[in-house]
Amino acid sequence: MKVLMVCLGNICRSPLAEGILKHKCKQQNLDWYVDSAGTGKWHLGSAPDVRSIKVAAKYGIDISEQRARSIRSTDYEEFDLIFAMDTSNFKDLKSWALDATEEMKIKLILDEVYPDELMSVPDPYFSDDGFEEVFQMLDKACDEIIKKYA
Ligand code: 4NP
């Protein structure tokens, strides 16, 4: 299974989602390929936000080596599942899909925990205390992703 996690900047939420899912795959001996990307281009090549690095480290996950990149058209062919962190990322990703096969790969990540509620992982960039909550939401979602797709 090839899974892509997508947010706006690829420095706060999707690097955490990538790190958490990779960590769980390793623990469960799942041979999945996991990556992340942003819909925007402001932070290309940057390491994750220090607050994301910190909350991941608290749970024994090192995401410090990740570097931000933006989504590319080949991602739609390469990946089996593309998870958007919020409804805005979801809409953007859908609008760039070339056909129904590509479009069907795109999911809202919290639908895995709260189906059909259109819930978004809140963007923690402009807050200081949102990172723990984001971690917990993504941790739950990654458990469900493995349950459903492994
Ligand atoms: P992310 O958070 O989408 O979770 O990586 C953001 C990071 C940067 C910006 C917005 C959201 N920004 O506007 O620069």
In three-state form (DSSP H/G/I as H, E/B as E, the rest C), the secondary structure along the chain is CEEEEEECCCCCHHHHHHHHHHHHHHHCCCCCEEEEEECCCCCCCCCCCHHHHHHHHHCCCCCCCCCCCECCCCHHHHCCEEEECCHHHHHHHHHHCCCHHHHHCEEEHHHHCCCCCCCCCCCCCCCCCCHHHHHHHHHHHHHHHHHHHC
Indicate the average pLDDT of the chain.
Answer: 97
pLDDT band for position 129 (50/70/90)? confident
> pTM of whole model > 0.95?
yes
Instruction: Give the model's confidence band at 145: pLDDT under 50 very low, under 70 low, under 90 confident, else very high.
Output: very high
**Which amino acid residue places its CA nearest to atom 3 of ligand 1?**
8
Residue 66 Cβ inside 6 Å of ligand 1? The answer reads: no
Q: Is the CB of 9 under 6 A from ligand 1?
A: yes
- Give the amino acid at 64: S
Q: Which of 6, 8, 137 to mutate to test the pocket of ligand 1 (most atoms within 8 A of CB)?
A: 8
Q: Is 18 in the pocket of ligand 1 (CB under 6 A)?
A: no
Active-site residue flag, 123: yes
The predicted pLDDT at position 56 comes to 98
pLDDT of residue 127: 85
**pLDDT reported for residue 82:** 99
- Supply the pLDDT for residue 102: 98
Q: Which fold has domain 2-149?
A: Rossmann fold (3.40.50)
12 has catalytic annotation: no
Of 7, 12, 25, 142, which residue is the catalytic one? Answer: 7
The Cα 49–Cα 3 span in angstroms is 21
Active site residue 86: no
The length of the chain is 150
